C-alpha cells in the first residue's frame, strides 16, 4: 500500500509541476497585439496591446486588460492609456487634428509629424 501511495504522490507532484510551468510560460509571454488602426493619411497608428491573463475561460479572451498606444508611422509613441477590457475597443474616429475612441480617449494629433 505504501508503494501505491508513493506512486500517486509522485504523479501528483509531476502534474502540479507541469501545470506550473505551463502557467508561468503562458503568463510571462508578454503583451500581444490585439488590434491596429492606421489614420487615413497614414501618419499615425493606434496599436492595442492585450495583457496576458493567468486564467480565462473559453470565449473570454477579450475580457483581459490592455493598453492603447498612439504612435507615428515610424513607431514614436505619442500617447498611451490603459483599458480595462480590450473588448471595449471600437473603430477610432480620425479627424484632421485629433483621434477619438468613444468613452476611452480624445487625443490631439501633432501638426507636423512623420
The angle at the Cα of 74, spanning 73 to 80, to the nearest 5 degrees, equals 75
Q: 44-50 and 77-83: which strand pairing?
A: unpaired
Q: Which of 93, 89, 87 has the alpha carbon at shortest distance from 104?
A: 89
- CA gap 92, 101 in Å, rounded: 5
- 29 pLDDT tier (thresholds 50, 70, 90): low
What value does the mean pLDDT of the chain take?
82
pLDDT on residue 16: 76
C-alpha cell read off for 110: 501633432
Statement: residue 57 has pLDDT above 50: yes
- 3 pLDDT tier (thresholds 50, 70, 90): confident
pLDDT digits (tens, 9 = 90+) for 13-27: 877 766 665 555 444
Amino acid at each position: 500500500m505504501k508503494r501505491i501511495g508513493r506512486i500517486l504522490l509522485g504523479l501528483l507532484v509531476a502534474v502540479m509541476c507541469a501545470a506550473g510551468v505551463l502557467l508561468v510560460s503562458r503568463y510571462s509571454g508578454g503583451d500581444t497585439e490585439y488590434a491596429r488602426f492606421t489614420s487615413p493619411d497614414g501618419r499615425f497608428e493606434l496599436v492595442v496591446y492585450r495583457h496576458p491573463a493567468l486564467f480565462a475561460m473559453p470565449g473570454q479572451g477579450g475580457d483581459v486588460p490592455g493598453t492603447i498606444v498612439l504612435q507615428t508611422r515610424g513607431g514614436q509613441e505619442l500617447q498611451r492609456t490603459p483599458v480595462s477590457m480590450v473588448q471595449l475597443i471600437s473603430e477610432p474616429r480620425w479627424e484632421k487634428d485629433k483621434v477619438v475612441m468613444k468613452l476611452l480617449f480624445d487625443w490631439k494629433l501633432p501638426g507636423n509629424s512623420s
